[in-house]
Each structure stands twice: as C-alpha cells, then as structure tokens.
Amino acid sequence: MKGHMLHRLFLFALVLMLVGLTACSKNNENAKSSETPSSPASSTASSSASEETPDPFGKYDPPIALSTVKIFNTADKFEPGETPEKNTWMDAILKDLGIDIKLKWSVIGDEPGGAGEQKLNITIASNDLPDIIPVNAKQLKQLVDNDMAEDLTDVVEKYASPLYKKFLASNGGLALKTATFDGKVLALPQTTSGIDDAPMIWIRKDWLDKLQLSEPKTMDDILAISDAFTNRDPDGNNKKDTFGLGVGKDLYNGALHDLSGFFEGYHAYKNLWIEDGNGGLVYGGIQPEMKTALAKVQEMFKAGQIDPEFGVKDSGKVNESVVSGKIGMFYGAHWNAFWPLPDSYKQDPNAVWKPYPIVSADDKPASPSIGLGAGAPNYFVFKKGAKHPEAIVKLANYYADKEYGWDTGGIDLSFHQPVPNPDGYIRWRFAPVFATDPEQNINIYRGVKAVVENNDQNALKNLQVKDNYDNYMKFAQDGDQGHYATALWTGPQNSGLSVLDYYLNNGLGQSDQFYGSKTDAMVDKQSTLEKLQLEAFTKIVMGAASIDSFDQFVSDWKKLGGDKITQEVNDWYAAQ
C-alpha cells in the first residue's frame, strides 16, 4: 500500500486511511541502518518443529532469537521513543511469544528498485541472509532457485491459526499457491484482497433520470448511455460539451478511467492468462474478444463520446472533467468513493453518482478481473536451515490476531495506529511478518449492512464496522456532508462495496490463471510486448489505425516472444 501517487495502490491505501482503525497506512522518517548478527543456522524444519506440541501462539521458554531486515517508506513516522529495533511490536512479540527479533539492518526506500530492494539484492547475492527475509516475487524466485528457502509446508499446516488459515484460503488460496514450488510452500504471502481489484461502472444517476434512461443491464445499455450523455445535453446548459465515457491516456493501467471493465463486458482480458477450453492457457490480450471490444471503443471515439484529448490526459486531468460535470460515466474501482467523487459532490451536491457491476454484451455474465491476493512486500521467506521455522507462522498468527481478531478476542488496539493520529505515526510496519485480512473491506460493508438493515448490534464489536457505521449514519441520518465518501463507499445500497458484494455473492471474478514466477521469456520479452500492446490499442481507439491492425499486432506479439512465453506458461500449467 503506497503513499501519495495517482494509481490504484495509493488509492486503496487512502481508502483504508480514511476509513480509520485499519492496520494499513504508511509513514516513517527516521529508520537507520543497523547491523546485528544472524541467528545460528542448524537443524531441519521437521526436527525444530517437533520440539513442541503444535500451538499457534505457543511461547518459547527460554526465548529464541530470530533475525530479519526492515524496509521503510520515506513517509513513515515513528512515535517518540520507538525505533525499528525497539517498539510496540518487538516488545510484545518477545513478551507473548518468546521471540527476540534482531534487525540485521533497516533502510528507507520501499519503492520498486529503491534502496530497500537494492540492499536486499546485495544481501541475497552475498548469502548474508537473516532468518526472516521480506522479498518481492523476483527475489523469492531467486532464493528458491538457489535452494535458500526453507520448506514451510508442514509448519503452515500444523501451526497456522484458524484465522490465519482463513486468510490463506481466501480467493481460492491463490496467494499461497504463488508461494508454492513443486508442491512445497517456500514462503508466506502477504495476503491481500483479490476482489478489491474488480472494476465497476460509476454513472451520474441524476443524468440517467433526467434523460429517462434505464440503468445499465447490458453493454448495449452502456453504449446508449454514452451516446445520450454526449448528445442530449445532460447538464442542461444548451451546449454540446459533455462526454459519454471518461478515459485516461494509459487506457487500462490505473483502475480509474480505465477500460478494463469495458473490455471485460466483451469477455476480453487485456493481460490475464485464461483457460482456452482445451486444457491450456491463452493470453487474453490477443483474443478475438479484444478486437471486438476495441472496435466498440473506436466507434465511441469517432462519435465524439470520448474526449479527443484523452491521449494526453492522465487520471488527474480526467478527474477535472468529472468534477466540473463534463463526464457522466467512467469505469473505476470501489475506492473512487473517496477520490475523485467527493470533489464532484462538493462542486455540485445534485450530482448523484452510483456504481454498477460491469455488464455483458451477450447472455454470458460479465466476470470482472480480480487479483491473486498477494501484496507488497509480497512474501516472507524463512532461511533454509535456520532453527524454528514454525516461528514465522506464529508471527503471522500473532499479527492476524492483534490486527483482526474481532471474533477471537485477540484484537489489541495498542498495536494499531493511534486514533486520532494527526502526526501520521505508524505501528504496523514494525511487525516482522504481516498477515493482512483479505476480507477486511467486505467484512466492513457486510457489518454496516447488518446493523443498518437488521439492527445487528453484534456486528459493532468489529470497531472498523462501528467506525464506518457511525460515519455512514452521520451522513444518511444527520446530513453531515463530511461523511459523503464513507456513505458512498460502504453504504448498504448503491455503494462501491455493495458492488463487490454482488460479485462475491454471484461467484463472479476472473483471476490470472498463471500465478507462477516470471518465465525466462517473460523476463526477456514481457516489457517489450506490453509496450507494443499499449501502443497498438491506443492507435486503434484513436482511429490512427484500423481495427484490422489488431491482427498485425497479434502476429507481431507472437513473433516477438509471445509464442515462447505461451509455451513456457503452458509447460508450467501442465505441471501444476
């Protein structure tokens, strides 16, 4: 979850910050590099784990020492008296679990290619590993290939708490599968929500009503709405100065003014590997369905329904048109309730935005693309041969319980960010292992809905639910406009999270069926192919190339490495 940047990771983090009482926000300023010796490495996973009866929260007595490293964000801030080495998490872990966490080093710079990644690359290359290693997917593959990662299969099965097992099982267990090689669990994934990535359609409901348009049920409805919003003066100023669909220059890379959901209405997935119906996988970006979808967008552009200057406008610029009332429909995500729609509401309180599930062009339901459920820093590896591999699972259990144990009774707000927190202090970053709840947001929504519609007071024991319920009622009942965003995000009806709940209840969601590490050809060719695809799609949308140029793009994609990648992906798939 990143700091202030105009893409979906930042905005998802922003949602969690604004909602309050969540474990995910980032700020820190004074992490300093420090070196401490690593724990001695000996014994095997089986012998070390068998030293005690499996207990997800069993305390070591006498305490054991485990080393790790920490990579902080430039914006992270610590409360006075707390340091990377000594803080709420480190002290409690020693007290409750008997695990003395030692830092080999800490550094500021968690961005891709930043100081943290560089220092960890050096650490891996020099084989100067700590016991617990926070890595990205590429680094994980490097450790696995060099036989430097401990097999955690048995200790996960024996020691994972019921709550943590629930996290790992979310989204079909895909997150754990991404950390599994040849049937062995070689890392713990940092679990995140897959469904939170799902696209949805945001539409000016007041414009629909004014023009007497039906709410969208099919892609034909979307096309009709776009035409009407362009040509029938929805803002009533007697000028043709509105656009039917908001689109940004990157087409599909930002989850805001993004065409992914539009494409998926035609069952086209621009960058997913999907089943081909014959036991193999194919790349979604080159399938005939994508050509059909691109042809429709090109028609909309030629008809003036898309801003002719979209090719030079990022999401921020398109937002200006949304806020000023020049765009009445766009594809986005649940967190658009927090940005940019509150600015639209402030500009015009009569602007009624409503989210809708993506819709289909035929009788087959539209299924939104969703994530695998593994997030930054992605994975936690236990150094092969180090003592007590079960301890990494206990640390994950402990994090899950302290941050999300509303039902277990393990919740402890002293581990959360302070509330109020005007200085932006962080606490969650201190933990040596993160285990975030993939269902955190949907649980908030379902809890608020249960209280509003059924007066379920039991749901309020989850303080995230209570916080959002209180804010929702301040808007819905008291008219406090300062809580518009929360109401639009988590309200029981017509909210961003209500759309995600619809997807879940109807079993809708398409994950990437290739969840392995990058293949050799991907490493060499993928960036080139991604650039080729974006350029080809953009030219088609803008009418600078005919729709039949898609066929040439497919041919070029295959020749420039796509066929080799497809072969490697299917070799991997056959082995699963």
C-alpha span between 275 and 237 (Å, rounded): 49
Do 303 and 229 fall within a single domain?
A: yes
- Predicted local confidence at residue 51, as pLDDT: 56
Instruction: Assess if residue 553 is contained within a domain.
Output: no
- Predicted local confidence at residue 29, as pLDDT: 33
Total residues belonging to the chain: 576
Do 351 and 257 fall within a single domain?
A: yes
Instruction: Assess if residue 511 is contained within a domain.
Output: no
- Predicted local confidence at residue 48, as pLDDT: 46
Question: In this structure, what DSSP letter does residue 312 have?
Answer: G
C-alpha span between 368 and 373 (Å, rounded): 15
Instruction: Assess if residue 518 is contained within a domain.
Output: no
Question: In this structure, what DSSP letter does residue 243 have?
Answer: B
C-alpha span between 129 and 284 (Å, rounded): 39
Do 32 and 178 fall within a single domain?
A: yes
Instruction: Assess if residue 497 is contained within a domain.
Output: yes
Do 30 and 169 fall within a single domain?
A: yes
C-alpha span between 535 and 193 (Å, rounded): 30
- Of 461, 478, 505, which one is at a domain's C-terminal end? 505
Parent domain of 332 = 200-368
Letter for the amino acid at 143? L
- In 3D, which of 359, 390, 354 has the Cα closest to residue 293? 359
Instruction: For residue 415, report the phi and psi dihedrals to the nearest 5 degrees.
Output: -90, -10
Instruction: For residue 425, report the phi and psi dihedrals to the nearest 5 degrees.
Output: -70, 150
Instruction: For residue 54, report the phi and psi dihedrals to the nearest 5 degrees.
Output: -55, 120
C-alpha span between 465 and 462 (Å, rounded): 5
C-alpha span between 248 and 312 (Å, rounded): 8
**Where do the H-state alpha helices sit in 313-437?**
315-323, 341-347, 390-404
Mark 429-446 as b/e (b = at least 16 C-beta within 10 Å): bbbbbbbbbbbbbbbbbb
Do 361 and 253 fall within a single domain?
A: yes
In which element (H, E) is residue 184 found? strand 184-185
Do 422 and 449 fall within a single domain?
A: no
- Predicted local confidence at residue 376, as pLDDT: 74
- Of 391, 412, 430, which one is at a domain's C-terminal end? 430
Instruction: Assess if residue 488 is contained within a domain.
Output: yes
Do 354 and 254 fall within a single domain?
A: yes
CATH number at residue 171: 3.40.190.10
- Predicted local confidence at residue 38, as pLDDT: 36
Contact 82, 64 (CB under 8 A): no
Q: How many domains in the chain?
A: 3
- Predicted local confidence at residue 420, as pLDDT: 85
Contact 247, 298 (CB under 8 A): no
Do 224 and 320 fall within a single domain?
A: yes
- Of 505, 529, 561, which one is at a domain's C-terminal end? 505
**In this structure, what token pair is assigned to residue 124?**
């891996």
Do 224 and 151 fall within a single domain?
A: no
C-alpha span between 72 and 84 (Å, rounded): 9
Instruction: Assess if residue 517 is contained within a domain.
Output: no
Q: Residue 300: which residues within 8 A CB-CB, separation 6 or more?
A: 223, 226, 244, 245, 306
- Predicted local confidence at residue 254, as pLDDT: 75
Do 261 and 139 fall within a single domain?
A: no
Do 143 and 102 fall within a single domain?
A: yes
Instruction: Assess if residue 555 is contained within a domain.
Output: no
Do 170 and 25 fall within a single domain?
A: yes
- Predicted local confidence at residue 37, as pLDDT: 34
Instruction: Assess if residue 123 is contained within a domain.
Output: yes
- In 3D, which of 248, 485, 275 has the Cα closest to residue 367? 275
List per-residue pLDDT tens for the chain, 576 residues long: 333 333 333 334 434 434 443 333 333 333 333 333 333 333 344 444 445 689 999 999 999 999 999 999 999 999 999 999 999 999 999 999 999 999 999 999 999 999 999 999 999 999 999 999 999 999 999 999 999 999 999 999 999 999 999 999 999 999 999 999 999 999 999 999 999 999 999 999 999 999 999 999 999 999 999 999 999 999 999 999 999 999 999 999 778 999 999 999 999 999 999 999 999 999 999 999 999 999 999 999 999 999 999 999 999 999 999 999 999 999 999 999 999 999 999 999 999 999 999 999 999 999 999 999 988 778 999 999 999 999 999 999 999 999 999 999 999 999 998 888 999 999 999 999 999 999 999 999 999 999 999 999 999 999 999 999 999 999 999 999 999 999 999 999 999 999 999 999 999 999 999 999 899 999 999 999 999 999 999 999 999 999 999 999 999 999 999 999 999 999 999 998
